[in-house]
Structure 1
Amino acid sequence: MVMFRWLRLVEPGKVVWTAVMVTLLHMCIFWLSPGKLIEVSPTTLSYHLIPLGSMSFFAEELQPMIIARNDTGDKLSLYSAPVDIVQSKKIANLFMNKSPHRMHNFQGKQAGGLYTYFHNSYHRSEEVQLRETLEELLDMLSVPTYHCKKLLRMGGFYCNHKPDGEKHVCHDPNLYPDNDYCMVYSFGVGHDFTFDMQIDKFGCQVFAFDSDLYHSHYPTYITERLTFYKVRVGTYFLKATQYQLHDMAAGPFVVEYWPIPAIMAKLGHTHHQLHYLKLDIEGDEWTVLEKSLFQTDILEGTQQLALEVHLDDLRHGGGYLSLHSLLTCVARYLRILHGLNSRGFLLAHWEPNYKGSELTTLAGLTFHVFSETLWVNPGYQRRRNNPTKGQPPPQL
């Protein structure tokens, strides 16, 4: 009987002990796990993914996130590994208090090439600066600041179901008045004239430009209002010998580069306004904008700018570029976009380039390397262009 009572008394203790152990095990799993997946609500036309405040470089643990995009329909899972550079600002202050004068080249623990230095006071690392600058760049490229009431798709997939060549045009009444002479410059047509031919049907006179080995077979006068010149846009005059990389047996061919101001002068358009300017020039858009167009007042007389954006320097997470070089590249992109803003242009539309849909991750942000943008100049002062008399010249 005594033994029976003793066993009955011990049994509740076993239950309590088991419950305590299970609770402790759950607590350990919770604290050691990388965290719960946080669902981030999609932002229209925004292709930067994680808000800056969610990634503290002094946090002991960063939680993984799922990022949803309502435009592309895809989901990207981005895991930010714990960054163990300096655990807190208190530790930073502790190091500084030990050396009240200067601590040269204090090197914390490495995290993806990131080092933290102290020099009398706590300074932001270059990686934090890179992230903040990149966030501003992606905001400017993806968050519209101009509302277009009637946005039209022209060319490309809309016409031939191929995922390239499609451009957007803002067709609001105040931007597209009736009975007004309309001029379009289209740089970088490739071998798809669907956009140029469709905007020609809206009554615009279109001048298209591009050059490769196979363009020699195209006529100059595509339609009554569409003229094609076999030159590429550049920042200065240049004749270069090139090869088709996918067809080396075809042999070399000569490509001419012309600056836009020289083209307009040659065609008698120096005092004309451009209703629509398309730049689809495979990464050269940044140099042409900063080194050529920004040196003139052509953009001030341009109403809409279709810009295919290439962030080539940021591909593959920046490749082998140093943090300082990446920061310089991002700052250059940002500087040129601010140059567009200062000339009155506001972003009206953004979408990824579906033909070259390439994603990269840099400084904790995942984004499209190639994208299509439309910029509108609402302060554009319209004046009536005088149509050029006679047929445009057969060549430049």
Structure 2
Amino acid sequence: MAPASLLRRIRFTLLSILCFVFVLYAIPRPLLGKPTSALTRDARARYPEAQTRVVDEPVNVVPEFVHNTSLAGHELKEQLVLLDQLFLLMTNITKPCRKLVRQGGKLCRGKLDGDKKLCLDPFVRPTSNSCLVYSFGIGYDFSFDAAMGKYGCQVFSFDDDSAHALLDRNPFPRVKFLRFRLAAGRGVKVERSYNPATKSEYIYLYRPLDNIMYLLGHSTANVDVLKIDVDGPEWEIFEDSIFKTDVLERTKQLSMEIHLGVFLDPHLDTGLPLSQTLQKYTRVLRGLEDRGFHLTHHEPNLFHPKYVQFANRTFNACYEVLFVNTHLKKMDTNDHAELQDKFYNEIEFSL
């Protein structure tokens, strides 16, 4: 009897450990943390050049990109002010979320990657079984999309390269995958790529967001979550396309990965081009603020960290941010009519 009893105890202990790991890493849960105090836009405009580090990064980080700021000359002071204002816009919580949860993500090398945060507070949380999610830039990780489908949302996922042609059109319940990219402009764009090794050509199709929503029958629908992770062009996508539409007026939450790509050039021109790029970065974030979007969460990407040293600033060049819309304009009730694959094939390749 003793060995059987011991066996039961060991089995019970192992099951308890597995349950704990599942709860810790698989089930979305509130994230703890005290939000920073809000600053008005006027205060940010008057914000002087900071004398300290702009972000709270580990002090033992070895920057991968170290830029010679002596080339910036008289423009350096203005660039540092712009950089500090940019990080205020990226990291200053102006709308704390009481119930912030993680959706999706996979553990790799002991770190979580691909997860996105979602706010479940009243008035901004997606309504289960009647919500709409647009997810751009999935790579090959559907974990966020699958989690939102399980939550009860109709999810439309987008990305495109030659390998995406092999992916299932319906990878998970309530998730539909389409092969085209988000355009950084107002027109439909075709881009051709030739592979000399295989002697083959691949055609990329780019569409503006409002054009995509029109084709899918969502031209007047509310978007519960708009996720954009496109590895750099997000600034142009907003300024040259999305800001010229009314889509954001109907979007509850915006989950985005921000890339400060200008600093990832080892031959960075620290003169006027850098100043213009920093101005564009801050312009886009202030444009979101002007449209009622308030920052509710931010964190550096520590799975693929790219640390930069610019003057006395050391920071990560990639951040995950979540905004919630306080000026939501409610439109028609979302209608998720099931469309045939033939329809998706047509809009993927039609011009």
SS in 1 for 2:113: coil
**Matched residue, 1:306:** 255
Contact preservation (8 Å) 1:68, 1:74: no
Contact preservation (8 Å) 1:181, 1:384: no
SS in 2 for 1:126: helix
**Are residues 1:52 and 2:49 paired?**
yes
**Matched residue, 2:13:** none
**Are residues 1:207 and 2:156 paired?**
yes
1:249-264 pair list within 5 angstroms: 249=198, 251-264=200-213
SS in 1 for 2:140: coil
Q: Name the CA distance, whole Å, in 2 between partners of 1:228 and 1:133.
A: 39
Q: Give the CA RMSD over aligned residues.
A: 3.1
**Matched residue, 1:30:** none
Distance apart, 1:190 and its partner CA: 0.6
Q: 1:152 aligns with which of 94, 98, 101?
A: 101
Structure of larger gyration radius = 1
Percent of paired sites with the same residue: 32
C-alpha deviations, 1:155-196, integer Å up to 9, x for none? 123699764321111111332265662100000011000100
1:332-371 pair list within 5 angstroms: 332-371=280-319
**Matched residue, 1:112:** 70
Q: Name the CA distance, whole Å, in 1 between partners of 2:242 and 2:50.
A: 37
Tell me the matched-pair count: 295
C-alpha deviations, 1:317-357, integer Å up to 9, x for none? x7331322211110111111111111111111111112320
Distance apart, 1:154 and its partner CA: 1.1
**Matched residue, 1:394:** 344
**Matched residue, 1:59:** none
| Compared CA separation, residues 226 and 159, structure 1 to 2 (3 A) | farther
Per the normalisation by structure 1, the TM-score is: 0.67
1:86-97 pair list within 5 angstroms: none
Q: Name the CA distance, whole Å, in 2 between partners of 1:111 and 1:163.
A: 34
Distance apart, 1:256 and its partner CA: 1.2
Further displaced range: 193-202 or 235-244:
235-244
| Compared CA separation, residues 358 and 248, structure 1 to 2 (3 A) | farther
Specify every segment of 5 or more residues in structure 1 that has no aligned partner in the other structure, as ranges: 1-42, 56-64, 79-109, 116-124
The one-letter code matched in structure 2 to 1:385 is: T
Contact preservation (8 Å) 2:55, 2:87: no
Greater RCO structure (CA 8 Å; 6+ sep) = 2
The one-letter code matched in structure 2 to 1:240 is: E
Contact preservation (8 Å) 2:136, 2:157: yes
Per the normalisation by structure 2, the TM-score is: 0.75
SS in 1 for 2:344: coil
| Compared CA separation, residues 204 and 177, structure 1 to 2 (3 A) | closer
Contact preservation (8 Å) 1:130, 1:363: no
